[in-house]
Structure 1
Amino acid sequence: MAFSRATFLLAALLAALLVVTSVQGSGQDEDALDRESLQEDVSLDNDHAVSYKGYKLLSVAPVTKRQRKSVIRLAGKQGVQFWLAQRNATGSFVAQILVAPGAVARVTRRLKDKGVNFKIVIQDLQNAINNEVTSLRDTDAIESGRPFVWDKFHRLSAIYAYMHQVARQHPELAEVKTIGKSTEGRDLLVLKLGRKSQSVKPAMWIDGGVHAREWISPAAVTYIIRELQKDTGLLNKMDFYLMPVANPDGYEYSHTKDRLWRKTRSMHRAANATKTALKRSRPCYGVDANRNWDSHWGQRAASMDPCSNNYQGPHPFSEPETK
């Protein structure tokens, strides 16, 4: 099954979803967007699959400073989630905004009233998600020796089956290592690639899937695995440790319940959170694993709110996935 244009667009946008660059104005930083404000609180647990039917993705290109301010004021409004807000290579401000069905008329009317150029790049987000739907059927095929392919996104079990397949086919080069367990008890698997040697060789670590919804990331790491197998000269000189899915719980949850799930799946109360979070009676789930490292923990773009997509965790390395 070949990817559709909408599927590629969705994957690319999700991969860049939180790579949000603040817009620096002259003098005061009045145009800057706080990264946390770009995200809705979507971390409450849900026993049912989340639907994004009727959600539209807008590409917005304000020209004047006044138009830019008008767009920025949409951040944090109900039914509005910024996926991207930055200056492009030419210096122009661009934004990608996900709009809930009930907010589409209000948001588009505001943009038109302010003369802001925009276009709808995804008419129905759920339809785009449905085009990505994966199944577990390819896992058995891979385990039985069928080749791993890159014309679709694979579930966790298929990716793990591929790693074991590589190790079976190239025992002189490859070895699968289990380095721990996730919050929900899934194996954290790493594939070591390198020619066995008596001497100490330099090593490189490559991981993907830290943010669950960025499916293109594990796909890229598995593709690197394929390409490295061809370069035995390089594997004679270096060892590679590759972890395609660093957040397996979140990755599976993004396949089964919520396509836009980003974090891990640990549960957190609001005991040490912001006043906003303290008002919530339900626990929130997950930590932004990419903000859970000890280095620069709790600094820019991190949140103390367990319900924020940018939640840093109660302390550095609180997640088994980052230890």
Structure 2
Amino acid sequence: MSMMRCYLVLFLSLAAVTAYTFSPSERHYGSQVLRITPQNEADLEWLRDFERNYENALDFWQGPTRLLNRGVDVWVPKSMIRQIRELLLENEMQFNVMIPDVQGVIDEQFTKMAGRTRPSTLADFDYSVYHPYDEIRQWVLDMATDHRDIVSEFLVTESYEGREMRAIKISVKPNAAKKSIWFEGGIHAREWISPATVMYIANQLVTDYKSGDQRVVKILESWDVFIVPSLNVDGYAYTWATERMWRKTRSLNPDFGCVGTDANRNWPYKWGGDGASPWACSNTYRGETALSEVEMKAITSYALARTKEQEIRIFIDWHSYAQLWLAPWSYDDAVELPPESPDQLKAAQAGVDAQFAVHAFEYIAGPSARILYEASGASNDWGFGGLGAKYSYVMELRDTGEYGFLLPEDQIIPCGEENYAATLALAEYVLDNDF
């Protein structure tokens, strides 16, 4: 990178941070998501500087990755669009407008959802639409009632704001020798496709088992399955009531006047390193300490307690967006990969192949920090290094950048179908190769 480019970024970024605060409480009419596509290593280096210098003024939906030609998606407030576009043009960065009016897309989605009635029974639950948190909580209770022969529900904790975080366990022919699978969704509040997908997977497992699908019968007779549909329940509720694009928890940071912690930088394995911000107003704020969030303390305690009775072999934290299987390590791109890495990637590739076979949507598997970016205190590292689950991943669901976090409802079922196929393929691979 030329010195002129560096100085230009630093000069403009200082002006931007001083003059603007991209407040999540604003209405976002006229704000845009720009997709910037690096063409070479120099572009990637420039974009990393751009992200560091502008992280307090812009919202990086997808930051610079280790992959060339992988878009960097930046949400820009209306007041800064001209400035950012001029900066990109000056530095010869290729970009296009991914979403021309963020608030317009949000309004359209909420308009389509307006007037829906709350499902009165589990039979009325519509897996093709997004649901507010009270309906997700009721879904947990109804699953355990209507399928009490194989589904039980449990309370993980009460959230910071007093909401119940409930989850389900699918278990047939209980046996102390059985191993288990742990799925959790919704750790980032605005990633609505995540809870929708894990609920779809849960329903399909139960439905197919009861219909006698021999593939699913074999899997559930070998595995117990724990599913936490929404981990960040306060943040998720906030995206429905106040700010659709909210990411973090809702705990107060009184010394800074900002709200929330990035729960996926708060896990107690390699906490506090690169890719996690010490600044409380950042979207990647790591928290004052590891497990500072009541939800994180509870989820780790519950999962660790389970391992005293039953090995958790597969751990997946479901996210969006990027269509990636991210294996350890996340905290450092230079550290030596664990000896288990080849097995982790072979198992993930079985899932990737299954996903592609359903709707020809391509997912990519790899070590997280080496194909995406560094993120210390992340779930897949804790799942492997803290919980002891050999097959531990962060799954980034649809899409790769047309809608980003605002994935339309007509993609919920197709996304669920390809990831249900991936779940079965992963479970079978581990059963056949490493059980």
- Shorter chain as denominator, the TM-score bin is 0.7 to 0.9
Partner residue in 2 for 1:59? 35
Contact kept? 1:153, 1:215, Cα under 8 Å: yes
Q: Any conservation in 1 of the 2:22–2:58 contact (CA below 8 Å)?
A: no
Q: Does 1:80 align with 2:58?
A: yes
Summarize the Cα distance change of 1:64–1:166 in structure 2 as closer, same or farther, 3 Å threshold: closer
2:199 matches 1:222 = yes
**Is the CA contact (8 Å cut-off) linking 2:122 and 2:143 kept in structure 1?**
no
Distance 1:169 1:138 in 2: 23
Structure 1 portions without partners, runs of 5+: 1-24, 31-36, 271-279
Residue matched to 1:3: none
Give the alignment of 1:29-44 within 5 angstroms.
Answer: none
Name the CA shift for 1:165/1:269 in 2 (closer, same or farther; >3 Å): same
Q: Deviations over 1:237-287 (max 9, x none)?
A: 2111100100100100111111121111111233xxxxxxxxx5xx22111
Confirm or deny: 8 A CA contact 1:79 1:103 kept in the other structure.
no
Quick one: distance in 2 between partners of 1:197 and 1:69?
53
Letter in 2 for 1:214: E
Runs of 4+ deviating beyond 6 Å: 40-44
> What SS does structure 2 have at the residue aligned with 1:86?
coil
Q: 2:266 aligns with which of 284, 292, 315?
A: 292
Matched residue type, 1:260: M
CA distance in 1, matches of 2:142, 2:290: 35
CA apart distance, 1:217: 0.9
Residues 104 and 202 from structure 1, CA distance in 2 versus in 1: closer, same or farther, beyond 3 angstroms? same
Report SS of the residue matched to 1:132.
helix
Q: Which moved more, 1:123-132 or 1:230-239?
A: 230-239
CA contact (8 A) 1:209 1:251 kept: yes
- Alpha-carbon contact 1:139-1:161 (below 8 Å) kept: no
CA 1:115/1:302 → structure 2, altered by over 3 Å: closer, same or farther? closer
Q: Deviations over 1:139-175 (max 9, x none)?
A: 632x334432233211111112222222222111111
- Give 1:268's aligned amino acid: N
| RMSD value, Cα | 2.9
* Larger CA deviation: 225-234 vs 65-74: 65-74
The one of the two structures with greater contact order (alpha-carbon pairs below 8 A, sep at least 6) is 1
Cα offset, 1:215, TM superposition: 0.9
Contact 1:79 1:102 (8 Å CA) reproduced:
no
CA spacing shift, 1:293–1:43, aligned 2, 3 Å: farther
**Equivalent position amino acid for 1:84 in 2:** Q
Specify which structure has the higher proportion of helix. 2
- CA contact 2:21–2:57 (8 Å) conserved in 1: no
* Structure 2 CA distance for aligned equivalents of residues 102 and 43 of structure 1: 10
Task: Name the structure 2 match of 1:262.
Answer: 247
User: 1:119/1:74 Cα in 2 relative to 1: closer, same or farther (>3 Å)?
Assistant: same
Give aligned pairs, total.
271
Which residue does the alignment assign to 2:142? 165
**1:273-314, Cα deviation, whole Å (9 max, x unpaired):** xxxxxxx5xx22111111222111112212222222222222
Amino acid corresponding to residue 235 of structure 1 in structure 2 = L
Q: Which residue of 2 aligns with 1:144?
A: 121
Aligned counterpart in structure 2 of residue 50 of structure 1, from 26, 41, 45: 26
Measure, in 1, the Cα distance between the counterparts of 2:41 and 2:264.
33
Task: Confirm or deny: 8 A CA contact 1:291 1:311 kept in the other structure.
Answer: yes
Give % identity.
29
Q: How far did 1:123 drift?
A: 0.8
Indicate the residue corresponding to 1:315 in structure 2. 289
Partner residue, 1:18 = none
1:148 is matched by which residue type in structure 2? F
CA distance in 2 between partners of 1:43 and 1:311 (Å):
16
**TM-score if structure 1 supplies the norm length?**
0.74
Q: Do the aligned partners of residues 240 and 137 (structure 1) sit closer, same or farther apart at CA in structure 2, a change above 3 Å counting?
A: farther
What does 1:129-208 align with in structure 2 at a 5 Å threshold?
Answer: 129-133=106-110, 140-141=118-119, 143-208=120-185
Q: TM-score, normalised by structure 2?
A: 0.56
